[in-house]
Amino acid sequence: SACATGTNAVGEAAEMIRRGQTDVMLCGGSEAAIEPISVSAFKNMGALSTRNDEPERASRPFDAERDGFIMAEGAGILLLESLEHAQRRGARIYAELIGYGSTADASHITAPDESGTGAARAMTAALRDAGLAPEAVDYINAHGTSTPLNDRMETRAIRQVFGPHADRLAISSTKSMTGHLMGAAGAVEAIMCVKSLETGWAPPTINYEHPDPECDLNYVPNQAQQLELYVGLSNSFGFGGHNGCLAFRRWEEV
Asked if 3 is an active-site residue, the reply is: yes
The catalytically annotated residue of 3, 27, 193, 215 is 3
Catalytic hit among 27, 85, 108, 143: 143
Which of these is catalytic: 27, 85, 165, 180? 180
Measured distance between the N- and C-terminal CA atoms of the chain, rounded to whole angstroms: 36
Is 170 within 8 Å of 217 (Cβ atoms)?
no
Rg of the chain over all Cα atoms, to the nearest angstrom: 17
Size (the chain), residues: 254
Give me the helices (H) in 47-113, please: 83-88
- 78 burial level (CB within 10 Å; 0-12, 13-18, 19+): buried
Helix, strand, or coil (residue 157): helix
Known catalytic residues are 3, 143, 180
